[in-house]
Structure 1
Amino acid sequence: MIRIVIADDHPLLREGLRRILEFEEGFEVVAEVGDGQGAINAARNMAVDILLMDLNMPGVNGLEAGRVIRREFPEIGILVLTVDDSDEKVFQVLQIGVAGYLLKDVDSKTLIHSIRKVYAGEPILSPSVTGKLLNQLTHPIPVKNTCGLSEREMEILNYVVRGASNREIGVSLFISEKTVKNHLSSTYRKLAVEDRTQAALKAVKLKFINLE
């Protein structure tokens, strides 16, 4: 059973999301809250697998709540569902290590699929957000310092930025999924990040990857 908390300051939207999610087998909405502090309280007081959260909420906003929850409960998958896809907001949110970033115009089938993927440990980005990441790589500035990443690690990081899964990377590079995971662990350590989303964000900031 995937236990979900919905955090949004619009009651009608919360009700709509709950109806969609509870209709799906294996989903349980354990709480609905209207602000970031409510999301933090829910994470602290009940078993939560997925936090489906808006960013623009009164009091403690989603970004602030996300920082606290990521720090205290890194096992909870935070899936942002918002109308705000500004470059600044996207990078602020990805930097704290959320598991996914979707826009509210997403259809219910995609939302359900995304929740399952986040629960399985895979990051989710809406196409427009992925485009923002890739657009930052259009005119990269060559850098001498690559944080000690090997040629293979840089190659895998390239695939990560493009949104490929470990299995897809392994198939493309003719290596095992376990080998991909080992390279990624080394990459995270060298980049001083915790997960693939943060690694992709740092690669964008440092302009490591050149997309033709």
Structure 2
Amino acid sequence: MPALRVALADDQALVRAGLRALLQGLGIEVVLEADDGQGLLDGLVEQKVDVVLSDVRMPGVDGIAATRQLRARGDSTPLLLLTTFDESELLLQASEAGAQGFMLKDAAPEDLHEAILKVAGGETLLLPVSTDPVRARYRFHDEAPPSDTFGEKEVAILRLLAGGYSNKEIARSLFLAEGTVKNYVSTILDKLGTRDRTRAVLKAITLRII
């Protein structure tokens, strides 16, 4: 089986060097490096890769903007964003832009390896919660139990919310009216005691509802 080919974007040279060494040690080939989103976009015109690994915070064109531009030009290469806890509000934005997953910068090498293999294989890591230690890092501060249980449809909608889908996209996916989805979302927010979709998703993950 040929080695996975990865593009790596991060504005810090030391971080890139560390990630390159780590990936090479895992048998993954780094064939393209960039220090910002524009460099990544330019490089991917010439160089095809299996997975793009990009920092979220970069000067100029950041990771989310680069993801959005890649998708806009028809490039569907799986993309894994590196993020930190204080960027939690960006998770759904990034997913809406078309990223397949998120990973903590200080994640264990085996977790990073697993994440890269999963997105290369077509899976989506909605949030970096594949293991308990990572889940703990993303623990939502409010762990009060929900006011009611969640039905199968509500759980399905929560999972789609975590994927960054709009009400219209959720409606199309679940064969529901858009107004019905809006009502479901309002009910979900009420049950979780949260005021927006991002907090609802983070709390649902913390409480293992999704």
Shorter-chain TM-score above 0.5: yes
Q: Is residue 45 from structure 1 mapped to residue 46 from structure 2 by the alignment?
A: yes
Q: Is the 8 A contact 2:160 2:170 kept in 1?
A: no
User: Amino acid of the residue matched to residue 117 of structure 2?
Assistant: R
8 Å contact kept, 1:6–1:52:
yes
Greater Cα offset, 5-14 or 92-101: 92-101
The secondary structure found in structure 2 opposite 1:31 is: strand
Q: Deviations over 1:32-75 (max 9, x none)?
A: 11000011112211112211000111111111111011222442
What code does the residue aligned with 1:206 have?
V
* Partner Cα distance (1:100, 1:110) in 2: 12
CA contact (8 A) 2:70 2:76 kept: no
CA displacement at 1:10 relative to structure 2: 0.6
CA deviation profile, 1:191-212 (whole Å, cap 9, x unmatched): 357xxxxxxxx99x93575667
Instruction: Give the equivalent residue in structure 2 for 1:183.
Output: none
* 1: CA distance, partners of 2:138 / 2:161: 8
Q: TM-score, normalization: structure 2?
A: 0.64
Find the counterpart in structure 1 of residue 195 from structure 2. Answer: none
Q: CA deviation at 1:83?
A: 2.5
User: 2:68 and 2:156 mapped to 1: Cα distance?
Assistant: 25
Q: Which residue of 2 aligns with 1:33?
A: 34
Q: Distance in 1 between matches of 2:158 and 2:185?
A: 16
Q: How does 1:98-177 map to 2 (within 5 A)?
A: 98-124=99-125, 125-127=127-129, 128=135, 138=146, 154=153, 157=156, 160=159
Offset of 1:160 from its aligned partner? 4.2
User: CA separation of 1:206/1:8 partners in 2, compared to 1, >3 Å: closer, same or farther?
Assistant: same
What residue number does 2:80 align with?
Answer: 79
1:206 has 2:205 as partner: no
Give the aligned partner of residue 191 of structure 1.
Answer: 171
SS at match of 2:81: strand
Shift of 1:155: 6.8
Q: What does residue 25 of structure 2 align with? A: 23
Q: Distance in 2 between matches of 1:130 and 1:97?
A: 21
Q: Any conservation in 2 of the 1:36–1:62 contact (CA below 8 Å)?
A: yes
1:86 aligns to what SS in structure 2?
helix
1:8 aligns with 2:24: no
Q: Secondary structure at the match of 1:60?
A: coil
Q: Which 10-residue stretch deviates more, 85-94 or 72-81?
A: 85-94
Structure 2: unaligned runs, 5 residues or longer: 130-134, 174-180, 192-203
RMSD: 3.7
What amino acid is the match of 1:4?
Answer: V
Q: Identity over aligned residues, as a percent? A: 30
Give 2:69's aligned residue.
68
CA distance in 2, matches of 1:188, 1:57: 31
Deviations 1:52-101 (A, max 9, x none): 00011111111111101122244211100123543421221122121101
- Number of residue pairs matched by the alignment: 167
2:95 and 2:128 map into 1 onto residues whose CA distance is: 12
Partner AA of 2:5 in structure 1: R
Alpha-carbon spacing, 1:43–1:192, altered in 2? closer, same or farther (3 Å): farther
Structure 1 portions without partners, runs of 5+: 141-150, 164-186, 194-201
